[in-house]
Amino acid sequence: MKFYSQFKTEIRIIGLDDMSFQPKSQGRLGVIGVVFRGGYWLETVIRTEITIDGLDATENICSMISKLPNFRQLRLVMLNGIMFGGFNVVNIKQLHIISKLPVLSIIRKKPVFSSIRTGMKKLPSFEERWNALLAAGKIFETISRDNRSKIFFQKIGISDYDAKKIIRLTSTRSNMPEPVRIAHIIASGVGSI
């Protein structure tokens, strides 16, 4: 699917974030998805589970998205980073191919790849994890809507121009786009219960 710069301000975006967990823990972890229209209207909240430090994030997120009643109206998948549940890396290239939607990963701080690589090497299937991380491609940056801070992102299936435009369009309440900001708030709250 080709993404064009002529999009509606009420573009439907699913934002995703994982619940909080204790480091070095094992088991399953929830991932929250919220469907937003632009940066103003929350329409749907959904949930799936992944394995902490597992390899199932991409598959489970694709499955969750495809079951949405308004799936055909979605125009973009927005992730709060690509590492969910520790080192369970979302392969955004596969997510794009399977969902047929552009994918935009929002990154709060520029990652230090040497530290990530060291941590990943301690887990099985290092090459698969590392290749999924590399598949996300180049890290881009833009300036927040209030022109005060940098926002980093990775993308597939969408131009740099459109990605920057959507980040600004959906950053209505803070410097973070609403789909991932609200997914993060819900995931943090539910994860602490």
pLDDT for position 130: 97
Is 160 among the domain residues?
Answer: yes
CATH number of residue 49's parent domain = 3.30.2170.10
pLDDT digits (tens, 9 = 90+) for 88-131: 999 999 999 999 999 999 998 999 999 999 999 999 999 999 99
For a pLDDT cut of 70, what percent of the chain falls above it?
A: 95
Is 6 among the domain residues?
Answer: no
Pairing of strands 12-18, 76-80: parallel
The candidate with the shortest Cα–Cα distance to 153, out of 174, 169, 165, 167, is: 167
pLDDT for position 144: 82
Is 4 among the domain residues?
Answer: no
- Mean pLDDT (the chain) is 92
pLDDT for position 7: 65
Is 89 among the domain residues?
Answer: yes
Is 99 among the domain residues?
Answer: yes
CB burial string 125-164: b at 16+ within 10 A, e below: eeeebbebbebbeeebebeebeeeeebbbbbbbbeeebbb
Q: Count CA atoms closer than 13 A to 156's CA, side-chain side.
A: 20
pLDDT digits (tens, 9 = 90+) for 37-76: 988 899 999 999 999 999 999 999 999 999 999 999 999 9
Cβ–Cβ < 8 Å for 183, 61: no
Is 61 among the domain residues?
Answer: yes
Question: Measuring CA to CA, how many Å separate 84 from each of 53, 78, 92, 146?
Answer: 8, 13, 12, 28
Which residues span the domain enclosing 38?
A: 12-191
Q: How confident is the model at residue 145 (pLDDT cuts 50, 70, 90)?
A: confident
Is 100 among the domain residues?
Answer: yes
Query: What does the angle CA 97 – CA 183 – CA 6 come to, to the nearest 5 degrees?
Result: 55
pLDDT digits (tens, 9 = 90+) for 130-140: 999 999 999 99
pLDDT for position 38: 83
**Residues near 30 by Cβ (< 8 Å), separated by ≥ 6?**
18, 19, 47, 48, 49, 187, 190, 191
Query: How many domains does the chain fold into?
Result: 1
Cβ burial, residue 118 (10 Å; 0-12/13-18/19+): exposed
Is 7 among the domain residues?
Answer: no
